[in-house]
Structure 1
């Protein structure tokens, strides 16, 4: 994951200041504020993760007495664990994998306490299978379930659970993430095919983050609320919260309109979960600058408390053309119209000035011609 972020950061440095070729970038909201006008306030610190085994936390779940976390892919053996933390973010115990995971990117906790870990990272998109690890309450080690995509390899960093306990992988495809679920019941020791359950389009945002536009277009984590009535997905910039009906998480994401909670300027935010009472979102970053960086801080944000926007009719493919009207798009359309109007006025003024100048020049030239 870190290598991919390095490449993205490099790409950001060479991006032109303007938008598309020949078109200046539209003036947007101030840094740290999304286009919908939601003020981007920093999260409230909860505790600091200072254990040296946890520099790359990529998955987070909250329990009644603390937290469960996993690292991103790591070559260091003692970091390849499922870690249990107390409320002060101190490690109380860890659980080993029976075999080395390849790229653990997210985890989610079922209502009965079962922990699911998504071994689903694939920066180079070369894995023939990815994996889901299942740690039952009281178990000594997790059980491995291999799965395969129906349409080629994908990089993914978000794992959700539907109301009936079905795992849902959300890919990291830029701008239009896909949602994949097992095509049949998972069985240990076998590879289960996945099916594409749908996809959706990320809303536009201008929330300040270390990776600029790229950071707003990549899903890096997700979670379902304890009561199952909301689901959240995050990018490096924002948390997107959807309402869930009858446990249908796929329908909520692909057919709903999210409420946005800005997560401004987190160093490398790849985790999100709900507090046990569901009233807040919790996030934790990786150490984006390596071992010398400050220890990661668990942050708390209020869950989106605005009235939800009515959802469109159910769909498995939400696109910019069929998304409901929202203020982000209205603001951008307004900017486009304003820009076109200003441009037309400027051209008109230039033409008038040129015509006036030519007329004056002609008037001054006439007497001299008459004298000849």
Structure 2
């Protein structure tokens, strides 16, 4: 594992600003409010409060679709001692909205200098943004840790968050990263090795959001069909402005500044961002400001198509998902023969079969117990991964 200095000057500035504001409004979220447009549309705001045992400051957060009752969230964000924690969630038995936390946070894995971006790839790789050394950390399925500097790729120091553009949106499958310091969002091309390692190349597109959502720390794509969002849209947690700002999605999956609308104001330390895969609720954390998790409800629940990320899978799709045993693998053109492998979440190969040169191929998982598996396809076009849940 690499070793880095515990803090940097950039972090000290960020943390000092958060602490100064926190002293004025500790444990208070009364200033937070949805803008009238979204109140009228039926959206509601709920403060879920702080998490027992989670070290401050709070970092990015995510929910894995196959574990809908567990929140993954960064603690000691921006510090070398930063780590990702798991927290049990309490859901309303009728609406399934998250209403609170079912226990104290438990350490999951070390994520040094974790900031606002956290993502579990379908192949099991954990990606997270690292402030202020401007890097993306990776923990591979075999627990190997590596970290990639972004300065050589044209990303201004320092990175704040990351997200993958979902299926059905412009730029579907693209990796988007935000520079907190420069207030710029970038598209970063990548390839994936068989080990699950992401290899990044130089940024290929960028959009400045300095005027609309300065200090972007969280990125989330709004479920299609949500009220007041007629076109594909995204939300950005603006740390500097204390707001959540929403945009229409343009080329490459980047925001269109001309469409910016304030959705939530009066925040302190707006940090990570996620869409609940069960309800479509937008959740974000606060770095300071009492270190809270806040929920905005009223979005449409993601359907199976919108919730399926293509970032790791340029070769095929697999359905139905979840499946009861027999599923269908659909190759994208051009067709090419190869190998299909089934892996468990630890990366262990369970079975393999020949990939036929045909657009549709049946895969039989009926001999496997219920759970999450990874389907890996390798052919002359490359390697793709997809999660599949066996019911």
**Superposed counterparts of 1:66-81, under 5 Å:** 66-71=70-75, 72-76=77-81, 80-81=82-83
Structure 1 55/271 Cα, relative in aligned 2: closer, same or farther at 3 Å? Answer: same
Q: SS of 1:5's equivalent?
A: helix
User: How far off is 1:159 after superposition?
Assistant: 0.7
Q: Is contact 2:244-2:262 (8 Å) kept?
A: yes
Give the whole-Å Cα distance in 2 for the aligned partners of 1:244 and 1:199: 11
Structure 2 unaligned regions, length at least 5: 1-9, 22-30, 90-99, 167-171, 226-231, 301-391
- Work out whether 1:271 is the aligned partner of 2:276: no
- Work out whether 1:223 is the aligned partner of 2:220: yes
- Work out whether 1:120 is the aligned partner of 2:130: yes
Q: SS of 1:101's equivalent?
A: coil
Structure 1 unaligned regions, length at least 5: 13-30, 205-215, 289-293, 306-372
Structure 1 145/32 Cα, relative in aligned 2: closer, same or farther at 3 Å? Answer: closer
Question: How large is the RMSD of aligned CA atoms in angstroms?
Answer: 4.1
Structure 1 44/142 Cα, relative in aligned 2: closer, same or farther at 3 Å? Answer: farther
- Work out whether 1:194 is the aligned partner of 2:195: no
**Superposed counterparts of 1:190-269, under 5 Å:** 192-202=200-210, 204=212, 217-225=214-222, 230-236=233-239, 237-244=242-249, 250-254=252-256, 257-266=259-268, 268-269=269-270
Q: Is contact 2:61-2:116 (8 Å) kept?
A: no
- Work out whether 1:44 is the aligned partner of 2:49: no
Give the whole-Å Cα distance in 1 for the aligned partners of 2:125 and 2:222: 15
Q: SS of 1:43's equivalent?
A: strand
Structure 1 60/10 Cα, relative in aligned 2: closer, same or farther at 3 Å? Answer: closer
- Work out whether 1:108 is the aligned partner of 2:109: no
User: How far off is 1:162 after superposition?
Assistant: 2.3
After TM superposition, the score normalised by the length of structure 2 is 0.51
Structure 1 231/92 Cα, relative in aligned 2: closer, same or farther at 3 Å? Answer: same
Q: What is aligned with 1:130?
A: 135
Give the whole-Å Cα distance in 1 for the aligned partners of 2:165 and 2:19: 37
Q: SS of 1:50's equivalent?
A: coil
Q: What is aligned with 1:159?
A: 162
Give the whole-Å Cα distance in 2 for the aligned partners of 1:84 and 1:114: 16
User: How far off is 1:140 after superposition?
Assistant: 5.9
After TM superposition, the score normalised by the length of structure 1 is 0.53
Q: Is contact 2:222-2:299 (8 Å) kept?
A: no
Q: SS of 2:255's equivalent?
A: helix
Q: How many residues align?
A: 249
User: How far off is 1:145 after superposition?
Assistant: 5.1
Structure 1 55/168 Cα, relative in aligned 2: closer, same or farther at 3 Å? Answer: same
Give the whole-Å Cα distance in 1 for the aligned partners of 2:198 and 2:165: 22
User: How far off is 1:59 after superposition?
Assistant: 0.5
Q: Is contact 1:281-1:300 (8 Å) kept?
A: yes
**Superposed counterparts of 1:1-372, under 5 Å:** 3-5=12-14, 8=17, 43-51=45-53, 53-63=54-64, 64-71=68-75, 72-76=77-81, 80-87=82-89, 88-89=100-101, 90-91=103-104, 93-97=106-110, 101-109=112-120, 112=122, 114=124, 116-122=126-132, 127=133, 130-134=135-139, 139=141, 141=143, 143-144=145-146, 146-149=148-151, 150-151=153-154, 153-163=156-166, 165-174=173-182, 176-182=183-189, 184-186=190-192, 192-202=200-210, 204=212, 217-225=214-222, 230-236=233-239, 237-244=242-249, 250-254=252-256, 257-266=259-268, 268-288=269-289, 296-302=291-297
Q: SS of 1:260's equivalent?
A: strand
Structure of greater Rg: 1
